Amino acid sequence: MAQVLRQSSNISAEAESATLAKARPPRASTQSRVTRRVKLYAPAAGLLVGLVALWQLIAAVAGIQSYVLPTPSSVLADAFGSDRSVLLTAASTTVIEILVGFGIAVSGGFVLSTLLVHSRIVNRAIYPLVIASQTIPTLAIAPVLIIWFGFGILPKVIVVTLFAFFPVVINTVAGMSSVDRDVIYLMRSLGSSRWQLFRWVRLPACLPNFFTGVKQAAVISVIGAVAGEWVGGQSGLGPLMIAANSGLETAVVFAAILYLSVMAITMFLIVSLVERFTIPWYFVAKATATTRQ
Amino acid sequence: MTASGLSVRGLDKTYETDNGMITAFIDVSFDIAPGEFVSILGPSGCGKTTLLHVIAGLEEESGGVVEVGGSRPASRAEVFGYMFQKDLLLPWVRVIDNVALGLVVNGVDRKEAQARSLEVMTKYGLGAFARAYACQLSGGMRQRAALIRTLLVGRPIMLLDEPFGALDALTRSTMQDWLLSVWEGEQGQDRRTVLFVTHDVQEAVFVSDRVLVMSQRPGRIKHVVDIELPRPRLRQELLASPRFGEYCAELLASIVEGAGDAVGQVH
């Protein structure tokens, strides 16, 4: 390959090796993958374990009432022990609200973003409403939704969707509209149609932003579902937490929080995984940009 | 694909800004014969990029006529191949798909476009980087990929907007040699017509058959110099030849004359 380069373009030897060096992807480190993974996650894991150990110590030894600060062991017992069926049933209701609301928010949000970017009049009409939608307090809207749609799952799904679609739209619109004008000129100079411009430029360009929005939406969906349940729900982890709180079963409350955290983290990780598969180029570009410095 | 001639008559461009109406260029007229390599030389900000945008149809002219092969083209994208100062390779596809982009946009099947791209890339030393992403290539290689992308679409007239302006001096010389070898490699009627924009006097003399000097904004063609140097242009010989130096001196004088008034103007 070095010969081909030299013959066809008369590059000097130094320029050529500099060129070759830049063209190779960043070299893998000499550490094994396992070692690197351990180094990456060990600090967080260590801190977590340390805090939990400290908590266990304080709660068990300092003579604090179990309804003020339950021990981690009692929380884990409630969460995963033999009595966990109540929590699991509640969680299954909440999880459906989260996933359905999230799904609608992400797909609907993406479609809405595309419309907003491609039509100025739609943009002017709807974008302000998108922002205004976030100012509606849950406490106000949830009871109204229950009056309209009953006590079933629908009002909570609507609340989740309402919260979750906002970061998706804001981020995706920013990504689609921040395309370099020269790239648009390039596509026009090649004779591209508006659809081709979307398919080759605006769509791939917005994906990193889109995924940022989806990650935010994932986390908000979890909080949104619980908030919706608190204000007008009879089933799910929200009402369960309220009931447990009234009955001074603080360990159950903590267990419910643990379940919710696991849901949020799992969703976040799944989105990150999908991101890795969908936009591998983004991570290559980031890696190259940082190693260059 | 046979090369075509380009005629521009009385072209001007004025546009509105917050500071009022600005005239980018006014009453620009010239003729380029098929297969000729012509440069437009002018200082930064004189409107030469805007002129190229207007000719290519990326911006609309305020007045005047652009004719290709004697008539107004129905679609500018079908007669002009454009190369920008930035390589504008898309970060989300691999280099080979970037190079194939022009073909794919024009309806060529993706596999075939990739095959054609790979052929030309290999010919010019980029074959090994087909599967890489643009960010992994150096500036010179990216510009070469960008030029191949434009060449593959096969338009009869090439508009090159300071394509090597963002490269370092050494790479720039290499790229000039390379561009000329590619252009001269096209035989007879296939040899394309080229309109090349630059602010670099030596570059203009080195590559062109003729140089049009553009004045400060509002730009107009104020001087034309025919470059009678033999082809192929051999860098070592040319740099040592007195004629080369004379052309450079003449063009530099032409740019500088009247530029004194422009000093202190805000662009």
pLDDT digits (tens, 9 = 90+) for A31-45: 777 788 788 888 999
pLDDT grade, residue B67 (50/70/90)? Answer: very high
pLDDT grade, residue B249 (50/70/90)? Answer: very high
Burial of A247 (0-12, 13-18, 19+ CB in 10 A): exposed
Residue contact B82–A12, C-beta within 8 A = no
| Average pLDDT over every residue of A2-11 | 44
| Res A2 pLDDT > 70 | no
Nearest CA in chain A to B128: A1
pLDDT grade, residue A5 (50/70/90)? Answer: very low
For residue A146, CA distances in Å to A141, A182, A220 come to 9, 50, 21
Q: What integer pLDDT is reported at residue B2 of this predicted model?
A: 64
Q: Which amino acid is at B43?
A: P
Maximum average pLDDT range among A135-144, B186-195, B219-228, B250-259:
B219-228
Class of domain A67-292: mainly alpha
> Taking a C-beta distance cutoff of 8 angstroms, is the pair B186, B232 a contact?
no
| Res A232 pLDDT > 80 | no
- Of the candidates A247, A264, A237, A261, the one whose C-alpha atom is nearest the C-alpha of residue A86 is A237
Residue contact B77–A189, C-beta within 8 A = yes
Q: B161: part of which helix (H) or strand (E)?
A: strand B157-161
Interface contact A282, partner B, CB < 8 A: yes
**Distance between CA B160 and CA B147 in Å, rounded?**
9
Cα(first)–Cα(last) distance of chain A, in Å? 27
Model pLDDT for residues B203-212, shown as the tens digit of each residue: 999 999 999 9
**Distance between CA B66 and CA B57 in Å, rounded?**
10
| 242-261 in chain A: CB under 8 A from chain B | none
| Res A10 pLDDT > 90 | no
pLDDT grade, residue A191 (50/70/90)? Answer: very high
Q: What integer pLDDT is reported at residue A146 of this predicted model?
A: 84
pLDDT grade, residue A189 (50/70/90)? Answer: very high
| Average pLDDT over every residue of B17-28 | 89
What is the secondary structure of A205-230 as a DSSP string? HHHHHHHHHHHHHHHHHHHHHHHHHH
**Distance between CA B60 and CA B50 in Å, rounded?**
10
Residue contact B75–A191, C-beta within 8 A = yes
**Distance between CA A164 and CA B14 in Å, rounded?**
46
Cβ neighbours of B105 (radius 10 Å): 20
Nearest CA in chain A to B78: A191
Contacts of A190 in chain B (CB under 8 A): 77, 101-102, 105-106, 153
Of A133-142, B51-60, B120-129, the least confident:
A133-142
Interface contact B121, partner A, CB < 8 A: no
**Distance between CA B249 and CA B243 in Å, rounded?**
10
What's chain A's average pLDDT? 85
> Taking a C-beta distance cutoff of 8 angstroms, is the pair B4, B158 a contact?
no
Residue whose entry in the numeric block shows the structure tokens 């190079």: B99
| Res A6 pLDDT > 50 | no
Contacts of B140 in chain A (CB under 8 A): 19
Secondary-structure percent of chain A, ordered helix, strand, coil, rounded to 5: 80, 0, 20
pLDDT grade, residue A293 (50/70/90)? Answer: very low
Q: What integer pLDDT is reported at residue A13 of this predicted model?
A: 46
Q: What integer pLDDT is reported at residue A121 of this predicted model?
A: 93
**Distance between CA B95 and CA B149 in Å, rounded?**
10
What's chain B's average pLDDT? 90
pLDDT grade, residue A86 (50/70/90)? Answer: confident
Residue contact A279–B92, C-beta within 8 A = yes
Q: What integer pLDDT is reported at residue A114 of this predicted model?
A: 95
Q: What integer pLDDT is reported at residue A11 of this predicted model?
A: 45
pLDDT grade, residue A286 (50/70/90)? Answer: confident
**Distance between CA A102 and CA A224 in Å, rounded?**
10
Q: What integer pLDDT is reported at residue A32 of this predicted model?
A: 78
| Res A233 pLDDT > 80 | no
Model pLDDT for residues A152-185, shown as the tens digit of each residue: 889 899 999 999 999 999 999 999 999 999 999 9
> Taking a C-beta distance cutoff of 8 angstroms, is the pair B53, B223 a contact?
no
Q: What integer pLDDT is reported at residue A176 of this predicted model?
A: 93
| Residue A142 CB partners (closer than 8 Å, separation 6+) | A155, A159, A227, A228, A231, A232
| Res A15 pLDDT > 80 | no
| Residue A135 CB partners (closer than 8 Å, separation 6+) | none
Contacts of B135 in chain A (CB under 8 A): 284-285, 288-289
Contacts of A283 in chain B (CB under 8 A): none
Residue of B95, B117, B123, B136 to mutate for A, most A C-beta atoms under 10 A: B136
| Res A3 pLDDT > 60 | no
| CB-facing half-sphere around the CA of B116: CA atoms within 13 A | 20
Q: What integer pLDDT is reported at residue B131 of this predicted model?
A: 94
> Taking a C-beta distance cutoff of 8 angstroms, is the pair B43, B107 a contact?
no
Provide the token pair at A189: 């100079």
Provide the token pair at B9: 């008559």
Of A259-268, B11-20, B28-37, B200-209, the least confident:
B11-20
Mapped onto helix, strand or coil, the DSSP state of residue B14 is: strand
Q: What integer pLDDT is reported at residue B118 of this predicted model?
A: 95
> Taking a C-beta distance cutoff of 8 angstroms, is the pair A162, A141 a contact?
yes
Q: How far is B198 from chain A (nearest CA, A)?
A: 18
CA dihedral over A255, A259, A265, A268, signed as positive or negative: negative
| Average pLDDT over every residue of A205-211 | 96
Interface contact A284, partner B, CB < 8 A: yes
- Of the candidates A49, A150, A7, A9, the one whose C-alpha atom is nearest the C-alpha of residue B138 is A9
Interface contact B101, partner A, CB < 8 A: yes
Residue contact B174–A180, C-beta within 8 A = no
Q: Residue B218, preceding bond cis, omega within 30 degrees?
A: yes
| 11-70 in chain A: CB under 8 A from chain B | 11-12, 15, 18-19, 22-25
Q: What integer pLDDT is reported at residue A28 of this predicted model?
A: 60
What is the secondary structure of B193-205 as a DSSP string? EEEEEES-HHHHH
| Res A198 pLDDT > 50 | yes
Q: Give A83 or A56, the one with higher predicted confidence.
A: A56
Q: What integer pLDDT is reported at residue A22 of this predicted model?
A: 56
| Res A128 pLDDT > 60 | yes
Nearest CA in chain B to A283: B92
Q: What integer pLDDT is reported at residue A34 of this predicted model?
A: 79
What percent of chain A clears pLDDT 70, i.e. is strictly above it? 89
Q: What integer pLDDT is reported at residue B13 of this predicted model?
A: 92
Cβ neighbours of B217 (radius 10 Å): 21
| B57, B105, B174 ranked by CB distance to A192: nearest | B105
| Res B217 pLDDT > 90 | no
| Residue B38 CB partners (closer than 8 Å, separation 6+) | B30, B32, B194, B195, B196, B208, B209, B210, B211, B212
What percent of chain A clears pLDDT 90, i.e. is strictly above it? 49
Q: What integer pLDDT is reported at residue A110 of this predicted model?
A: 96
Model pLDDT for residues B68-127, shown as the tens digit of each residue: 988 888 888 899 999 998 999 999 999 999 999 999 999 999 999 999 999 999 998 899
Contacts of A186 in chain B (CB under 8 A): 82, 84, 88
Q: What integer pLDDT is reported at residue A73 of this predicted model?
A: 85
| A23, A180, A288 ranked by CB distance to B129: nearest | A23
